[in-house]
C-alpha cells in the first residue's frame, strides 16, 4: 500500500474529516487531499505531524505496518471467519432437511417394515437438522457479539458502507442458500428453510444497530469535549 493510501486509511480509521486533520497540522484541505491522492508527497516534518495525529509512527505511515491497520485486518479476518462458518453451516443444515424430504419420504397410514427403517433414517436426519440450526443460531450470536466487542475494544473504525455491505452480502448469501434448497424440496415449502436465516439476520441487525448507536454516542462525546 502506498503512502497516499496509508494516509487516507489512517484518517478514515481515526474518524476525522480532511478539514479536521488539515486544521490540526496547519495546512489547507486541498493540500491534505493532494497527499492522500498521491499528487504530492509530504516531507519528513509533515509525516511526523500526521503520524502523531493518527497515533502511529513514520514507518507506519510509509509501510502501513502500524497497530491501527493491523487491528483492522484482524477484524476483517474475524468477519470473514463468521461469514464462512455461517455459510457452511447453512448449507449443511439445508442439505440435511432437503435430503430427509427427498430421499426418506414416507406415506401416511400403517408403515411396512421397510418404511419403518426409512422413518428411522428420516428422524435421524431431521434431528441432525434441528441440531445444526441450533448451532447456527449460537455461532451467529457469538460471532456477531465478538465482532462488536472487537470493534469497541480495539477502537478500530470501519467505514459505514463497508459494514452495510458485509451485512447485506451475508444476509443475501444465507437467504439464497436456503431458497435454493427450499424451491426444490418435494414436501416442504421454501419458507421452512428461511426461518433460521431470518433469525440470524435479525440478530445481526439488532447488534448492528446497537453498535452504530454506541459509535454515535462516542462521537458526540468527543465533539462535546
Residue 191: how many CB atoms within 10 A of its CB? 11
Q: What is the pTM of this model?
A: 0.71
Percent of the chain past pLDDT 70, that is, above it, reads: 91
Confidence category of residue 222, pLDDT binned at 50, 70, 90: low
CA distances from 158 to 11, 149, 154 (A): 11, 13, 11
For residues 157-177, give the mean pLDDT: 89
Alpha-carbon distance 158 to 160, whole Å?
6
Per-residue pLDDT tens digits for 8-44: 888 887 778 999 999 989 999 999 999 999 899 899 8
Per-residue pLDDT tens digits for 193-213: 999 999 999 999 999 998 888
At residue 144's C-alpha, the angle toward residues 141 and 147, to 5°, is 145
Amino acid at each position: 500500500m502506498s503512502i497516499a493510501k496509508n494516509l487516507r486509511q489512517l484518517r478514515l480509521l481515526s474518524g476525522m474529516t480532511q478539514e479536521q486533520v488539515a486544521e490540526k497540522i496547519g495546512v489547507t484541505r486541498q493540500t491534505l487531499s493532494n497527499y492522500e491522492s498521491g499528487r504530492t508527497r509530504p516531507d519528513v516534518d509533515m509525516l511526523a505531524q500526521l503520524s502523531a495525529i493518527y497515533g502511529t509512527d513514520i514507518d507506519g505511515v510509509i509501510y502501513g505496518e502500524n497497530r491501527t491497520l493491523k487491528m483492522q485486518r484482524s477484524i476483517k479476518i474475524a468477519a470473514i471467519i463468521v461469514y464462512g462458518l455461517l455459510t457452511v453451516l447453512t448449507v449443511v443444515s439445508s442439505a440435511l432437511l432437503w435430503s430427509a424430504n427427498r430421499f426418506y419420504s414416507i406415506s401416511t397410514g400403517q408403515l411396512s417394515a421397510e418404511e419403518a427403517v426409512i422413518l428411522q433414517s428420516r428422524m435421524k436426519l431431521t434431528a441432525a437438522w434441528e441440531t445444526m440450526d441450533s448451532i447456527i443460531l449460537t455461532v451467529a450470536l457469538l460471532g456477531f457479539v465478538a465482532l462488536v466487542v472487537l470493534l469497541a475494544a480495539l477502537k478500530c473504525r470501519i467505514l459505514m458502507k463497508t459494514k452495510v455491505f458485509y451485512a447485506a452480502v451475508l444476509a443475501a448469501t444465507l437467504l439464497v442458500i436456503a431458497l435454493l434448497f427450499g424451491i426444490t424440496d418435494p414436501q416442504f415449502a421454501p419458507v421452512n428453510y428461511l426461518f433460521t436465516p431470518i433469525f440470524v439476520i435479525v440478530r445481526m441487525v439488532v447488534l448492528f444497530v446497537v453498535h452504530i448507536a454506541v459509535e454515535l454516542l462516542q462521537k458526540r462525546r468527543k465533539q462535546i469535549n
